[in-house]
Structure 1
Amino acid sequence: MNIMKRFLKYTALTVMILIIWVAAIFISMDKGWWHTPFTQDKMPNEFIASVQEELQNEFVGTMAIALFKGGKLAEESFYSNDKPADRNTVFQVASLSKFVSAIGVMKLVEDGKLNLDAPVSRYLTRWRLPHSDFDNTKVTVRRLLSHTAGLTDGLGYAGFKNPKDVQSLEASLNKAIDADPGSDGRILIGVEPGSEWRYSGGGFTVLQLMVEEVSGQSFDSYMQSEIFEPLQMHSSFYQWDENFQDRLCDFYETDGSKAAQRYYTAQAASALYTSLADLEKLFHLFDEDNVNQKPVSPEFQKLMWQVEAETLGTPIYGLGTFLYTELENGGFVIGHDGKNNPPINTAFRYNPVAKDGIIMLTTGSTNFATRIASDWVFLQTGKVDALLFTMQQGKMIQIMAIGSFFILILVASIAFVRRTGK
């Protein structure tokens, strides 16, 4: 009986210490207590200089970066391994496309042509959601925009090396043959719509079809006429345009070798081409004091920034918008990142309170833009943003595991010593 009591006592002690240890590491990572940003320089010119220094530590093929202060452009900087880059160089921006595509969807909502809470199937005739074990009418426009529609596709589009191989939109929705590894390419409703946040490239491909059906235009034509032209974003498009070949950035693999351009069916999710200069115009769209023409009103822009999804009890996503970290007024640093292969990494972060921001476009690196932009958020707010926390998870789990191992050894040693001592 005494042996059992001792066993239960030490087991309870071990569990309590492990819980405290895991909680302490989680909180410390979340608060950024162990995070050291790549620079301590907050001023735009000094931050840019630090970025240029950081570029020397790893391979980045092409880079364009802009910093905003108080709603005004403060600094720009460029880097290229070969073909020169400037503010008019055209980049593919991967999943940053979703953020811009969502603005196009919200334009239709504001115009009364879409209802955020209507079943998306109401607007589809060319393709239908597949049968599921759940109520497909719960797959709404809002839930597709917020990745809470129950889709479990996990897409991820790798694109096509030859434009002749690009699938039709309907064929891609049935089974995307350019799906990233880890996805079989099918759109499936695998969990209860509205029950959880699951990032879904396929959901934005459904939205792409919906925009085409409602507008009567191709997705690219609709975005050109309704969003890009009013904002004078003359170097932005979803369907590749050969007229921009001379201004297209070089693509690279991580080893520094040149990579081929990719072509996409899933335009809304992955295929936006744009320039730093054009994204700067998009930045001004969010500034209520800016008098430039706004295809979407501030009221409907702000709907995109409201909390629609959480992970681990923390707000993470609105409507096509990452909520990177909470601000003092209850708002968030908002925007989106993009990541694809061959290595493309892009970041757009906007602080709607201070009207500060960062835009960063890169090729040849899988995470350089995200890391730099996350450190910018950390320097501005003192907080670890959603994507920086995700990048730190591997390190956090490793520290938790090592500490837990030593805690088990320590408690076992104490129990052994006390028992042999008696």
Structure 2
Amino acid sequence: MSTLIRVAYIMALLPLPAAAQQALPTPSKIAAVERGLTPAVVLSGMPAPRRTIEAEMRRLNVPGVSVAVLHGGVVDWSKGYGVTRAGGTPITPVTLFQAGSISKAITALAALRLVQQQRLTLDGDVNVQLRGWKLPTPPGEHVTLRELLLHTAGTTVHGFPGYASGVVVPSVDDVLAGRVPANTKPVVVDTKPGTIWRYSGGGYTVIQKLIGDVTGRPFAHVLRDEVLHPAGMMRSIFAQPLDAVSLTTAAWPHDGAGKPVPGGPHTYPELAAAGLWSTPTDLLRYAIAVRDSARGKKHTILEQPVATEMLTPGKGGWGLGLEVHPTPADRAFAHGGSNEGYENFLVAYTGSGDGVAVMTNGAQGGELGSEITRSVAAAYGWPSYHSIERASIPIPAATRAQLIGDYAIPELGSFSITGDGSGLAISLKEGVSEPLYASAPDTYFILSTDLLLRVGRREPKITGQFVMGSFEWPFVKDTDIKP
């Protein structure tokens, strides 16, 4: 199961105060970041382990990672580590990666540009501007662009697996209709719009069609002209698949064991949700454009009032296309991205102008990206993104035996709990497990991310919730594994 843990990595904002630190020369800060990786959670009474980027790349089977750091509103440094693939070229600051769902943040900026130009309406019925295919909605209801951007439209389809090399790729209309050769269900509205927050790649695919319909131009061209080039993201492109020449030097995707994804990068016709190729430096240029707009600078992509709306958190702590976290001293905006064999993260502050973008070509890169983010936070004295402490208690033998088994999370996947000596281990990704600790008789945690497992009912089947901040995902025990 990967979807839940990916969400955990992109939403793990830990707003703990950080002591002010004296400015260091850039080489010293780079070294501090490279040697200062810590887990999301540390055990009370135990020193926080300090790890290096290279050691964590080996442990997590991530062949390559690229990092760019923003300081005071300008890119302070960027650096690549590892290789694009076995026998491939070294990762450099200009190596392209699939950005995954960070594509949504770029799409949101383009959609708001079109709202500013009065070509899209933020609060009108999207079906009025959609041509051909219409978004199926409950009788008497309608969906707005604002709701799609906020993930409150009630649209289905959480994310997209992409299409492996050699597989027929559907059109966007096929994807929206859930029609062969699409490999996902139809995008529909199954809850009252505006009532709940639920992440939906399907909703952003509606936005993709909407942008194409109102402009009469290919989505990729609109994004290039409205966002990528104005923001200076000259190496970024919405292209699925990437052209053969660029692909020779791009980062190749790898699974959790570090093995190349067969056939290379998956193809994502869902460009708005997952179709961007980019670099960390280009992602920071996007962050600079958003920050400059919010601060009312001249000649920016958005006018200040529109940018303010974009960065105003609503349900779930999300703004219009970005996760937004006000802190006592600053405001952070962020987005994560996960495609098959790629894991990425972007965060920046509107006040200080600090931030970081991390892109990896390994399925366990989400954990690495979180560790690097915390290391940057410590080196630059950020007000958030720091490890937290939790106390653990022993797990009784009877409870241990009862919890061992396979579990299902509706619409998100599955996970398993196994014995680990006298304790327990949990596997949230295929072939990858880590210790599971107890903080209370019915509450369990891991160290790689700030995620709690709360057991509710134990008979006739164990049920409970994964809890992360204000979000909960129910689970149920499925098939027992013999200890």
* Short-chain TM bin: 0.7 to 0.9
Structure-2 residue corresponding to 1:371: 370
Counterpart secondary structure, 1:136: coil
Structure-2 residue corresponding to 1:102: 108
Identity %: 23
In structure 2, distance between residues paired with 1:178 and 1:369: 34
Unaligned runs of 5+ in 1: 1-28, 34-40, 311-315, 386-391, 406-422
Q: Higher mean Cα deviation, 344-353 or 48-57?
A: 48-57
Query: Does residue 174 of structure 1 match 2:177?
Result: yes
Task: After superposition, give the CA deviation of every residue in 1:89-114 in whole Å (9 maximum; x if it has no partner).
Answer: 11101111101111110110111111
In structure 1, distance between residues paired with 2:436 and 2:122: 38
Task: After superposition, give the CA deviation of every residue in 1:233-256 in whole Å (9 maximum; x if it has no partner).
Answer: 222121234142233112211212
Structure-1 residue corresponding to 2:467: none
Counterpart secondary structure, 2:207: helix
Residue pairs, 1:192-203, within 5 angstroms: 192-203=192-203
Give, as a single letter, the amino acid of the residue that structure 2 aligns with 1:135.
G
Structure-2 residue corresponding to 1:84: 90
The count of residues paired between Structure 1 and Structure 2 equals 349
Structure-1 residue corresponding to 2:227: 227
Residue pairs, 1:339-358, within 5 angstroms: 339-341=338-340, 343-358=341-356
In structure 1, distance between residues paired with 2:253 and 2:64: 8
Contact 2:13 2:384 in 1 (8 A): no
2:148 corresponds, among 130, 144, 150, to: 144
Contact 1:48 1:77 in 2 (8 A): no
The 3 A distance-change label for structure 1 pair 403 and 303 is closer
Task: After superposition, give the CA deviation of every residue in 1:334-388 in whole Å (9 maximum; x if it has no partner).
Answer: 02001222x2111110011111000000011332354225525864224669xxx
CA RMSD, aligned part only?
A: 3.2
Give, as a single letter, the amino acid of the residue that structure 2 aligns with 1:401.
P
Q: Higher mean Cα deviation, 81-90 or 157-166?
A: 157-166
Query: Does residue 399 of structure 1 match 2:439?
Result: yes
Contact 1:104 1:227 in 2 (8 A): yes
Contact 2:57 2:64 in 1 (8 A): no
Contact 1:362 1:368 in 2 (8 A): no
Q: Higher mean Cα deviation, 215-224 or 156-165?
A: 156-165
In structure 1, distance between residues paired with 2:436 and 2:191: 28
Structure-2 residue corresponding to 1:275: 279
The 3 A distance-change label for structure 1 pair 327 and 178 is farther
1:159 corresponds, among 152, 159, 162, to: 162
Counterpart secondary structure, 2:170: coil
TM-superposed CA distance for 1:226, in Å, is 1.7
In structure 2, distance between residues paired with 1:75 and 1:368: 22
Contact 1:61 1:365 in 2 (8 A): no
Contact 1:62 1:363 in 2 (8 A): yes
Larger strand proportion of the pair: 2
Residue pairs, 1:8-407, within 5 angstroms: 43-50=29-36, 51-53=52-54, 54-81=56-83, 82=86, 83-132=89-138, 134-137=139-142, 139-154=143-158, 156-162=159-165, 165-175=168-178, 185-239=185-239, 240-242=241-243, 243-259=245-261, 260-288=264-292, 294-310=300-316, 316-323=317-324, 325-328=325-328, 332-341=331-340, 343-366=341-364, 367-372=366-371, 375-376=374-375, 379=378, 380-382=382-384, 398-402=438-442
Counterpart secondary structure, 2:247: helix
TM-superposed CA distance for 1:399, in Å, is 2.6
The 3 A distance-change label for structure 1 pair 177 and 344 is farther
In structure 1, distance between residues paired with 2:91 and 2:13: 36
Q: Higher mean Cα deviation, 160-169 or 139-148?
A: 160-169
The 3 A distance-change label for structure 1 pair 318 and 376 is farther
Give, as a single letter, the amino acid of the residue that structure 2 aligns with 1:361.
M
Give, as a single letter, the amino acid of the residue that structure 2 aligns with 1:120.
V
Contact 2:284 2:355 in 1 (8 A): no
In structure 2, distance between residues paired with 1:135 and 1:198: 21
Q: Higher mean Cα deviation, 188-197 or 224-233?
A: 224-233
In structure 2, distance between residues paired with 1:63 and 1:337: 15
Task: After superposition, give the CA deviation of every residue in 1:128-174 in whole Å (9 maximum; x if it has no partner).
Answer: 11253x5332x1000000000012332x1111123761111111101
Larger helix proportion of the pair: 1
In structure 1, distance between residues paired with 2:298 and 2:81: 30
The 3 A distance-change label for structure 1 pair 338 and 399 is same
In structure 2, distance between residues paired with 1:215 and 1:291: 27
Give, as a single letter, the amino acid of the residue that structure 1 aligns with 2:223.
M
TM-superposed CA distance for 1:278, in Å, is 2.1
In structure 1, distance between residues paired with 2:160 and 2:297: 37
Give, as a single letter, the amino acid of the residue that structure 1 aligns with 2:176.
L
Give, as a single letter, the amino acid of the residue that structure 2 aligns with 1:114.
L
Structure possessing the higher radius of gyration over alpha carbons: 1
TM-superposed CA distance for 1:403, in Å, is 6.6
TM-score relative to the length of structure 2: 0.65
In structure 2, distance between residues paired with 1:348 and 1:244: 23
Contact 2:96 2:279 in 1 (8 A): yes
Contact 1:169 1:266 in 2 (8 A): yes
The 3 A distance-change label for structure 1 pair 131 and 355 is closer
Give, as a single letter, the amino acid of the residue that structure 2 aligns with 1:87.
P
In structure 2, distance between residues paired with 1:397 and 1:336: 28
Task: After superposition, give the CA deviation of every residue in 1:387-412 in whole Å (9 maximum; x if it has no partner).
Answer: xxxxx9x999953435799xxxxxxx
Contact 1:44 1:67 in 2 (8 A): no
Counterpart secondary structure, 2:307: helix
Counterpart secondary structure, 1:336: strand
TM-superposed CA distance for 1:281, in Å, is 2.2
Unaligned runs of 5+ in 2: 1-11, 17-23, 37-51, 388-425, 429-434, 445-453, 455-483
